[in-house]
Structure 1
Amino acid sequence: TEEYYFTDVVHFSSIKKLFSLELGITASSFLASYDGVVTAGVDFTRIGIEKDVDAGVITVTMPGAAVLNVDIDPDSFRLYEEKSGLGNPISAADFNSSLVELERSAEEKAIERGVLDHADENARVLIRNFVAALVEEGRYTVRFAAE
């Protein structure tokens, strides 16, 4: 597995309209931050192994890494600014939708910064070391193939 730690700022705003006119006194918003971690890894239950004794090759077929979890630490919540407009209070649903967006954004950033590539490499190192402990050293070459 590989973990990507993040701190992110969430901004939410809502304003009521009358026809197409925005009513400024109804503007509600909040600005907050959260810490969290994105975890990525390989599903080892889908790994296949084939041994070619004559060629001295062990081929490991494995799926690519995937994001397993996005965990936001609720204790890290910091509210920097909150404004409730007239007749437009901030609701639990507003906070919840901001968390959903935060999770999506954190996952995208983690992938952009290579969390899946690092998880793939960690899995290859682990498997290569495991195979090396089971077979005679130098007798087999370990090759990886995509599932």
Structure 2
Amino acid sequence: MKKLSGRVVSVVAVLATVALVLVLVRPAIFERGERTIDSTSIGGEFNDIAQLATEEYVYSSVGKFDDEGLRLLNVRVPFTGKNFLVSYEGKVTAGIKDAGQITVDVDDAAQTFTVRLPRAEVLDSTWTEGSSEVWDQTMNPINQIKVEDVTEFVDSRREAEKQKAVDDGLLDRAQASAEELVRSHAKALIRGTSMEDYEVKVESAT
């Protein structure tokens, strides 16, 4: 029985060696199988939106994913870690999330036309399609890079870039742009009407 097992192992090893030699010497013998990408829709619906985007933050960055892997007695075990380096571009958009919350108050006695705006919010944070490029990644058969690793990296970087945009004043700029945009539209709206001489005021929620 042991001899038979040994022969089987030997045969498998020989076949694997022959296959490797053929790949190196006569690569034309082997052909890649067909690659198929498919999807199935499991649901979809239309939703009304009334967003008013007034400012965007465009960025170009490099991010790194690093998983140390296993540690033994506080010492990193070789060949158990994984990492990759990615450059990417994207943008963070801000403005009025629901334009339906914008209200208008006309005071004929005071001759004022007042528009009230909600506070600006981050509307979206996206990567530019096709902009990402992998510069360095480990090829570790023990702890391979998985789809979940890439997804986690993308989500974390997208959130980090959004926070950086907010810290750099994105929302304040979006609010100011919204006020100026609404003011110019309000003046155009009442031009040529009985309210043409009314004072246009724009107020933002606190």
Shift of 1:47: 0.3
State which of 21, 24, 31 in structure 1 corresponds to 2:78.
Answer: 24
Instruction: Please name the residue that 1:109 is paired with.
Output: 164
The residue matched to 1:24 in structure 2 has which SS? Answer: coil
- Counting aligned pairs with the same residue, the percent is 29
Three-state SS of the structure 1 residue aligned to 2:143 is: coil
Runs of 4+ in 1 over 4 A off after TM superposition: none
Structure with greater Cα Rg: 2
1:15 and 1:24 in contact (8 A); partners too: no
1:38-49 maps to which residues of 2 (within 5 A)? 38-42=92-96, 43-49=98-104
Q: Which has the higher contact order (CA 8 A, sep 6+)?
A: 1
* Cα offset, 1:57, TM superposition: 2.0
The answer (yes or no) to whether the contact 2:113–2:201 under 8 Å persists in 1 is yes
Matched to 1:140, the amino acid is E
Which range is displaced more, 89-98 or 12-21? 12-21
Structure 1 counterpart of 2:57: 4
Q: Is the 8 A contact 2:117 2:202 kept in 1?
A: no
CA distance in 2, matches of 1:86, 1:143: 61
Structure 2 match to 1:146: 205
TM-score normalised over the length of structure 1: 0.89
Unaligned runs of 5+ in 2: 1-53
SS of alignment partner, residue 119 of structure 1: helix
TM, length-normalised to structure 2 = 0.65
Hey, what's the Cα distance between the residues in 1 that align with 2:92 and 2:202?
Answer: 28
Whether the aligned pair in 1 keeps the contact of 2:182 and 2:202 (CA below 8 Å) is no
RMSD over equivalenced CA pairs, Å: 1.8
Cα deviation for residue 137 of structure 1 reads: 3.9
Q: Which residue does the alignment assign to 1:88?
A: 143
Distance in 1 (CA, whole Å) between partners of 2:166 and 2:69 is 36
Specify which structure has the higher proportion of strand. Answer: 1
Length, aligned pairs only: 147
Tell me, yes or no, if the aligned pair for 1:40 and 1:68 is still in contact at 8 Å. yes
Structure 1 spans left out of the alignment, 5+ residues: none
